[in-house]
Chains A and B, each alone.
Chain A
Amino acid sequence: MARTNRPVSRRQAWWLLATALAASLPLAPQVPLWLSLAAGAVFSWRAALTWRQWHLPPRWLLVLLVIAGTVGVFLQYRTTMGRTPGIALLVVFLSLKLLELRAARDAVATALLCYFLVLGQFLFTQTIPTALLACLTVLITTATLLAASDDRPQPLLQLRRAGLMLAQALPFMLLLFLLFPRVQGPLWGIPQDRISAVSGLSDTMSPGSIALLSQSDAIAFRVQFKGTVPPQSELYWRGPVMPSFDGRSWRVRQTLGAYTEVPYSGIGAAVDYEVTLEPHGKFWLFALELPATLPADSALTSDYQPIARQAVRNRMRYAQRAWPEAIAGINEASSILREALALPRDGNPRMRAIAAGWRAQHGDDGAAILATAETFFGQQLLIYTLNPPLLGADIVDEFLFDTKRGFCEHFAAAFVFALRAAGVPARVVAGYQGGEVNPVDGYLVVRQYDAHAWAEAWIAGRGWVRIDPTAISAPSRINSNLASAVPTEEGLPFLARSDLAWLREVRYRLDAVTNGWNQWVLGYNPQRQRDLLAGLGMNEPDWRSMTAVLSVLCGGVMLGLTVWILRNRLRVDPALAAWRRFTARLARRGIVWQPWEGPLAFAERAAGQAPRHAKSIVEIATLYARMRYGPAPQAGDLLQLKQKIAAFHP
């Protein structure tokens, strides 16, 4: 091992510089710009010092820089605690430590700091590219650590050595990952500073809000169905229900969960599936209409939307069952029905007038009014478009009678308004519609551009009935997908377009890999671990038995690696094996063969120590030396050697 006060060589300095760069570059987007620039300047400074072989800066300057960096981080965040300030501080320290590489111990400390920064990347993202990048950085850091003790081998050789060491560590890593008792919660359970810029549905809906989402191909959630995937037109993923309307926007009711189990009973076949929900910062859990079961730690709102007890800030997986034909709300509370009829006092006079006509014609017959409204919407020849014109104060009237162009929120809002104006309780339901089955792994992927809004009307005797006004004007939106419903492929996200077959194929595969990573690596929780162990025949293991299994398996791997390394030794020359037996016998007499000692040299020493056996010792050693090092052993040599050794009893 290197002595800790050995000076750092030029090559070691280059290694450390490369490692520090590799470890801190991926963090550049996380730390403030001034810090990235400052760190870059320090790296360049260090490179110049190494290149020109100038002296390192004096200690007082370093102390000043450390203070300046720390104060800078504090001023930026008003704290030095927490994820981002902590990482920023580490970047400050790492870059300045490079200016202080005097002895081998500085090099080791720098390398260890780099390992820590690699870990820091995972506090921000846990994707496959992050993991691959981290592996690469760990490789470079390990090579640097090797170079800190011996920097003579070529860089490639050094990397190879490091790679071999990491490869040997890999089985242990896998075993520990699979078997070390997991803790509940995400692997990177640091509370996030805040959920920001996560696209997804919001708790209000105004014209244009969902159309905005159609620009995003980010994944909302993935679904794995237990049986066959239901037809596209039945995939209504219920999200926030918005009963209150202020003339422009629709809002959710600020209530908490009302039911801990579903207040209706199922009719017809159930659909079982499992959702892997991407974090979106809200409480909502999306479920196929209508949910029959509730995931753990969740409740059902009075609008039949499952919500979690805590905001979904980490990727979450839950099993679900749906009753597509369930009837809900036959005996709906009057307060809810009142709310579903509320309208602003004025606005949209043309629609109000027509609705009043329906009311006059059909009276209290909600079903008839609903049918009339559907016919009316069909006759308006509305156009489904991603780029609807801007609307003025009377959004319903202007959409229905003037512009006639809208996205799903226009359709849903106008329809619910019409029903309410005609005295039928109705509300807007937001969520996602459809999704796309990835043929590679069979998961249904629902993306942000699948966001949708539809209407729900309450009909006496039938409860809440779903009507999708978009389907009346643009049925292909519901039956296939967004791309087929929008006239020309106007402004669609790149990935939503259907004309690039190869791109879709690539996307399917990438997405299947990402999903596998999410499910099996990031989502490897105590439940998954229990399932895996149960599959291995260990039911409900406690920490003792798990520790035992872990130790045994690690021991096994260690043994396997040892055997692999010793394979050359195990495949020994029979003469050498016989020689080892011979030396073992002498060792019991206290005459120990040194592994570097030549046979004749050993024989002479041993003969001196055991003169009684001098003759046979010299004979055996001479025979062995000739067999192992001589030109061509004769036929009987090995037998003769074995016999002599068998007869040798010191």
Chain B
Amino acid sequence: MNYNVAQKHIIHQRPGKTPNPMRLPELDAILADINRIILGKDRPIRLSLACLLARGHLLIEDLPGVGKTTLAHVLARVLGLDFQRIQFTSDMLPADIIGVSIFDRESGAFHFHPGPIFTQVVLADEINRATPKAQSALLEAMEERQVTAEGKTRALPEPFFVIATQNPTYQIGTFPLPESQLDRFLLKIELGYPDPAAERELLAGADRRQLVADLVPRITPQRLIELQNTVRAVHASPALIDYVQTLAAYTRAAPRWQEGLSPRACLALLAVARAWALLDGRDHVLPEDVQAVLQGVIAHRLRPTDDDARSHAEAVAAALIEAVPLP
């Protein structure tokens, strides 16, 4: 595993190089399956899985056609989860997400027809094209993990994982998500174009749809919940918590950002870093884990005061890492 954060914190997975007794083979198998279909995107894939293991939701901001849908689909498939896709549009209503009660003439009563959100993996596509009303229906469901319709509260399935995509906010016809709602996403990642070698393999290789259809689940949903619980038990030493605090304190004091990291953001950072450590087969978090996931955690939480830096989330995260010594 390459921990070299100085080189822009791209951490490539090289399985088996440093055999670790804690390593969980099923996680390696899951990552290998996804990497076989989505080529050259090792880091975003790992982050997505870490996000899922940390019981968080994922926001992907990218151009259409770089594989967001495929990623969601593959994740659901290898983890043995149900999958639904919701395409957000500007005329969408909350009922289109949550579901609606329809009067059944035969029984003389209303019957609730659950919406597409009643599934384990939801792909909320182009979330910022919907009106705030529709957005908030989804975001409330994400936060509460339950849905209230017609006065009745219905629990959403477990595990429940939302992958939302949004177009870059500079595109027209978008309703940008407010900060408080962005905060409900544990991570924000970008997929980006594949590198030429990966793209060539994609173009020359087999049909992706077929590959997805051929995938078999590696674990059961029950096992996934167990793994999520294991993530919570990954040890974060006092020295590491000091580091998280120092990072947060730095963001609060530095004039580069309008506001610093909130305590909730620190919790998010720690949660993803735990999942990242587990993916690496460790029972404890290292500063490297924190640094590896930092960009995804801060990208949608810290607003730079300087407009120039807004588009370079990677450079911002690198600068933050290099400014804060390990305690």
Q: Which residues of A contact B (CB under 8 A)?
A: 2, 149-150, 152-153, 573, 576, 594-605, 625-626, 628-631
Contact = CB atoms under 8 A, between A and B. Distances in A.
Interface in B255-276: 255, 258-259
A152 B321 contact: no
B286 A599 contact: yes
A573 B239 contact: yes
A595 B326 contact: yes
Across the A-B interface, the 10 shortest Cβ-Cβ residue pairs: A601-B3, A595-B325, A598-B288, A598-B287, A631-B235, A630-B284, A629-B237, A600-B3, A150-B255, A629-B284
A646 B29 CA distance: 41
A133 to B, nearest CB: 30
Contacts of A626: 284
Nearest to A2: B255
B288 A601 contact: yes
Interface in B279-299: 283-288, 291
A626 B240 CA distance: 12
Interface residues of B, number: 28
A152 B259 contact: yes
Nearest to A1: B255
B5 interface: yes
A601 B288 CA distance: 7
Contacts of B4: 601, 604-605
A152 B259 CA distance: 8
A603 B18 CA distance: 13
A600 B252 CA distance: 28
A297 to B, nearest CB: 57
B324 interface: yes
Q: Which of the listed residues A573, A598, A628, A630 has the most CB atoms from chain B within 10 Å of its own CB?
A: A598
B286 A600 contact: yes
Contact of B283 (A573, A603, A630): A630
Given A150-B255, A596-B326, A600-B288, A629 B239 contact: yes
A149 B283 CA distance: 42
A152 B255 contact: yes
B283 A596 contact: no
B6 interface: yes
Contact of A601 (B5, B259, B325): B5
Nearest to A626: B284
Contacts of A597: 5-6, 326
A576 B322 CA distance: 19
Interface string B218-243: 00000000000000000101011000
A630 to B, nearest CB: 5
Contact of B284 (A152, A576, A603, A631): A631
Interface string B1-26: 11111100000000000000000000
B253 interface: yes
6 contacts: A152-B252, A594-B322, A598-B3, A600-B286, A625-B286, A631-B284
B323 interface: yes
A597 B4 CA distance: 8
Contacts of B322: 594, 596
Contacts of B321: 596
Contacts of B237: 628-631
A598 B291 contact: yes
B325 A596 contact: yes
A604 B2 contact: yes
Contacts of B287: 598-599, 629
Contact of A596 (B239, B253, B286, B323): B323
A630 B283 CA distance: 7
B319 to A, nearest CB: 11
Nearest to B3: A601
Contacts of B253: 150, 153
B283 to A, nearest CB: 6
A371 to B, nearest CB: 87
Contacts of B283: 630-631
Given A152-B252, A596-B325, 5 more contacts: A596-B324, A598-B287, A601-B5, A601-B6, A604-B1
Contacts of A598: 3, 5, 286-288, 291, 326
A463 B255 CA distance: 84
A508 B96 CA distance: 83
A594 B322 CA distance: 8
A604 B252 CA distance: 32
A152 B285 CA distance: 32
Contacts of B284: 626, 629-631
Nearest to A573: B239
Interface in B134-151: none
Contacts of B259: 152
Nearest to B5: A601
Contacts of A631: 235, 237, 283-284
A596 B4 CA distance: 12
A149 B258 CA distance: 13
B258 to A, nearest CB: 8
Contacts of A153: 253
A594 B321 CA distance: 11
A629 B286 contact: yes
B325 A604 contact: no
Q: Which of the listed residues A597, A605, A626, A631 has the most CB atoms from chain B within 10 Å of its own CB?
A: A597
Interface string B288-327: 1001000000000000000000000000000001111110
A599 B258 CA distance: 32
Contacts of A604: 1-4
A628 B239 contact: yes
A599 B285 CA distance: 12
A629 B6 contact: no
B286 to A, nearest CB: 5
Nearest to B324: A596
Nearest to A150: B255
B326 A629 contact: no
Contacts of B6: 594, 597, 601, 605
Nearest to B234: A631
A328 to B, nearest CB: 75
Nearest to A569: B327
B253 to A, nearest CB: 7
Nearest to A630: B284
B73 to A, nearest CB: 33
Contacts of B1: 600, 604
A149 B256 CA distance: 11
A126 to B, nearest CB: 38
